[in-house]
Homo-oligomer: A and B are copies of this chain.
């Protein structure tokens, strides 16, 4: 038992082995897709509505090999990343500003909540009027989704700053701007990253839904076409492909998070 232990480990939580995790992940995947495949084959699930994992995999392979999907994927990702970037910047800035300036927060608080409750997908036609049928409207839709998730977490994160640490920095004559940069922002970092995991998904939702409503390229367009011709396989293939791409982006975010938050005790 005492053979090969890492430098210092807290007693009760044993780090699960990589292989076990991988095995369980694969097992879970096999279980779900296996059930699905079996269900669709035996007719318990109507393949018309649910397709079949084997068909979906085949379709994805076909798209990738033929190169058909790449331009669409690139368009969607461009839109999603633009929405993500804009949403983060505006959300963090608004969160910092409102958390710091009490009057601003008090005044805009109800308006922000109202906007957050607006079903933005329904407003998509108006966004199309404003931002046109190109990437603009998809990015705008994504931003309206990402913004609020990031905003609320940043706002709360700033308020969670340890008052003693804050006072210490103030006594050391930090200017407002320095407080922001050296105290509030690092302190809110864990909060902001938590919101990024949620909002990367929403950035993509914005792009895909925007394309779904009106576009001539992008994954949303592909899915919309497939849905129009009752091609469930195509719908699933498009969605799953996108999700996998987002997973990769999310892993990159996590790597960044691990680097930026390296100062915290590992639990």
With A21-B106, A117-B243 known as contacts, the answer to whether A122 contacts B235 (CB < 8 A) is yes
Copies of this chain, count: 2
- The residues in A between 124 and 158 inclusive whose CB is less than 8 angstroms from any CB of B are 125-126, 129, 148-149, 152-153, 155-156
With A49-B129, A103-B20 known as contacts, the answer to whether A223 contacts B122 (CB < 8 A) is yes
A239 sits at the interface (CB 8 A): yes
Of B107, B212, B242, the contact of A28 (CB 8 Å cutoff) = B107
Question: Max chain B CB contacts within 10 Å: which of A197, A220, A244?
Answer: A197
A123 sits at the interface (CB 8 A): yes
In the assembled complex, which residues on chain B have CB atoms less than 8 Å from the CB atom of A89?
A: none
Interface residues in A, total, Cβ within 8 A: 70
In the assembled complex, which residues on chain B have CB atoms less than 8 Å from the CB atom of A195?
A: 152-153
Stretch from A56-64, A66-74, A203-211 forming part of the interface with B: A203-211
A92 sits at the interface (CB 8 A): no
Stretch from A1-9, A34-42, A108-116 forming part of the interface with B: A108-116
A13 sits at the interface (CB 8 A): yes
| Pairs A–B under 8 Å by Cβ, sample size 11 | A13-B102, A113-B247, A116-B200, A117-B204, A117-B205, A117-B247, A119-B204, A119-B208, A119-B212, A149-B149, A163-B265
Cβ-closest 7 pairs across A and B: A117-B246, A116-B201, A156-B194, A119-B208, A21-B106, A117-B201, A114-B243
